[in-house]
A and B are shown apart, each in its own frame.
Chain A
Amino acid sequence: MNMNFWLIQTFNGISYGALLFLVGSGLSLIFGVMRIVNLSHGSYFLLGGYVALTVIWTTGSWLLALPVAALSIALIGLVMERLFLRPLGFDPLRQVLLTVGFAFLFQQAALDIWTGNNFDINPPDALTKSIVVGGLYLPLYRIFMIATAAAIGIALWLIMEKTRMGAAVRATVDDAQMARGVGIDTSRISMLIFSLGALLAALGGVIGGAFLGIYPGLDFEMLPIAFAVVIIGGMGSLGGAAIGALLVGLADNFGKALFPEISYFTLYAPMALILAVKPTGLFGRE
């Protein structure tokens, strides 16, 4: 194992982490604002990929697929939150169970519409090349993933930290009751954050579909990994989600490369330990 091995694995880990950030940040914000574990988050990821496939098949445009998939899944999230989750009020357990019910419905719908075949989302040719940096071949697509996640992360951070809206979201994360007390419309915040989370997950599905593929069952494969991100990073914190995504991305890559037999164990065991010691995650707010 030479230097190149470590560099390439680190690069792969970081780019996988970038993808995980897209899925995890939304999940983290949803948990922070609504205190629910959204078990249909993996479905948004998968559906995003499927919708993108349909757009690519009909129009041939990958660039168009990104916004169409993201927005249509955001709309599904919005409807779900308004019509089903909101009427349950503040009963986290029932809301969690409801999201599983939806995950099953989405699973069947996806199977009906897009069949059970494996598909790949082919990115535009410009992104399929590799560039050589210091003797290492780095796929351009993975660099694109890192750049996209970084751009989205910075945009989200600016919104959260610099706008009035962001301040209201942070207030809701810290103490929803108090936030309502000072006149913040937490119901609207929930709606926005839930659709934002769905949008980010769908975006992840489109981008990740290029190297993970899009196939039935991917939804429940992504879900626990997204949870690892959220839990390690801390629920309701964007910075935490970014660090959690990086850690999980690296742990997953090195785990699979170095100790394949226990690779998932090396991912989930730290997650359980962190939860046991600090239930709000490493960077979560108390």
Chain B
Amino acid sequence: MTSQQIKILAVVAALAAIAVVVPNTNSFVILLATRALAFAILVMSVDLLLGYTGLPSLGQAAYLGVGAYLTAILATRYQFGLGYDFWLVVVLGILLAAALAAVFGLLAIRATGVYFLMITLALGQCVWGLAYRWNSLTGGDNGINLRERPTFGIDLANEVTYFFLVLGFFTLSLILMYTLVRSPFGRSLAGIRERELRMKILGYNTWLHKYVAFVIAGGFGGLSGVLWAHTAGIVSPVNVELGFSVDALLMAVLGGSGTLVGGVIGAFIVFGLREYLSTLVPWWQYVLGAVYVLTILYLPTGLMGIPERIRQRRALQGPKQAPKKPASAPA
């Protein structure tokens, strides 16, 4: 087996383990896992931009927010999306978020590096401002409470059923994004990340590549938002504020950017620390902050980079081996 096949097998095994273990635990853990999985879709969309295209987005919560608000507004105002039309809401959420990304992308894609970070921050704040102040539509600071989850043959109010739905969407997103980054399109994105000028000279339309990646990431953000709305049961400006976008970016980096599944590990660790540790000790946020700081200082490749680092260290210490390979620079 190639190492790639082993990795895929490991991910499949991990997903299977989640599917088997989580439903047999208590409702607290089930809710926690559902949240983490719904949010992990957003984190993977961040990773698609950060890890594979080299664009650090600090406004990704905007797309989750659009999907979540759409779901909440349709459900509470029009009783829409609570039966089989839930699937329509999923599609609408993805399309609306992708449309927003298509507009924002026109403004943002020209910028690179820290400037991209700031322009996505500004765009994210535009959405937050609307969510916070446009009382008649969004309920302002109080947000919108979703009173019920959809029922269509299966009852999503049942937390285990809903968990499996989110797990399904998550797995589908993972497969889609994995296929995307392994496709020729994804390879060109990685080329742009490494050296945009060279790709331009080779004749690639780098702007269009980045733009399409941005729109796709927005669409996944919308999906994550639709699921999040029904997971949390409330949609409020908190879901679109800067801190939420920062969370998504940090989770991607914590797990290891450019790995997709790393972001999921990041999401589980952060949600675990935040929701579980906070019930045990009052100083849980120190742990979270310290985890971030230490990861960034000592593990630039994130948690997923640990095996590689161990291998490198062994290779360096190993006697009479091939000439030392220079440590690869962090991407």
Report A's interface with B, CB cutoff 8 A.
Answer: 31, 35-37, 39, 84, 87-88, 91-94, 96-98, 100-102, 104-105, 107-109, 111-112, 220, 223-224, 227-228, 231, 260-265, 267-269, 271-273, 275-276, 279
How far in angstroms is the closest Cβ of chain B from A37?
Answer: 6
Residues B118 and A220 in contact, CB atoms below 8 Å apart? no
Q: Could you tell me which B residues sit within 8 Å of A by CB distance?
A: 56, 104, 106-108, 110-111, 113-115, 117-119, 121-123, 125-126, 128-130, 132-136, 241-243, 246, 249-250, 253, 282-283, 285-286, 288-290, 292-293, 296-297, 300, 330
Q: Say whether chain A's binding surface is mostly helix, strand, loop, or mixed.
A: helix
- The answer to whether A87 touches B134 (Cβ under 8 A) is no
Q: How far is the CA of A269 from the CA of B126 in the complex (A)?
A: 6
- Answer whether A265 and B129 are a contact pair too, CB < 8 Å, given A37-B117, A275-B122: yes
User: Which residue of chain A is the closest to B130 with respect to CB atoms?
Assistant: A265
B246:A100 contact, CB within 8 angstroms = yes
Question: Are B126 and A268 within 8 A (Cβ)?
Answer: yes
* Chain A residues with CB below 8 A from B117, complex form: 37, 93, 96
Q: How far is the CA of A14 from the CA of B118 in the complex (A)?
A: 25
**Which single member of B107, B132, B241 contacts A273 (CB below 8 Å)?**
B107
In the complex, are the beta carbons of B249 and A87 less than 8 A apart? no
Cβ-defined partner of B289 (8 Å) among A101, A264, A273: A101
Asked whether, in the complex, the Cβ of B108 is within 8 Å of the Cβ of A97, the reply is: no
Interface centre among A84, A101, A231, A267, by most B CB within 10 Å? Answer: A101
- Give 6 closest A-B pairs by Cβ, nearest first: A264-B129, A101-B292, A105-B289, A108-B285, A276-B107, A104-B289
Given pairs A97-B253, A105-B285, 13 additional interface contacts (CB within 8 A):
A37-B114, A96-B114, A96-B117, A97-B250, A104-B288, A105-B293, A220-B242, A224-B122, A231-B118, A231-B122, A267-B129, A268-B122, A271-B125
Chain A residues with CB below 8 A from B107, complex form: 272-273, 275-276
* Of A39, A107, A265, the contact of B285 (CB 8 Å cutoff): A107
Report the Cα distance A35→B113, complex, angstroms: 10
Chain A residue, CB-CB nearest to B114 = A92
A276: chain B residues at CB < 8 Å are: 106-108, 110-111, 119
B125 surroundings in chain A (CB, below 8 A)? 224, 228, 264, 267-268, 271
Write the nearest CB–CB distance from B174 to chain A, whole angstroms.
Answer: 24
Whether A272 contacts B122 by the Cβ 8 Å rule is yes
Q: How far is the CA of A36 from the CA of B243 in the complex (A)?
A: 18
Contacts of A109 in B (CB 8 A): 286
Give the one of A96, A102, A275 with max B CB within 10 A: A275
Which residues of chain B are near A93, meaning CB under 8 Å?
56, 113-114, 117
Which chain B positions have C-beta within 8 A of A261? Answer: 133-136
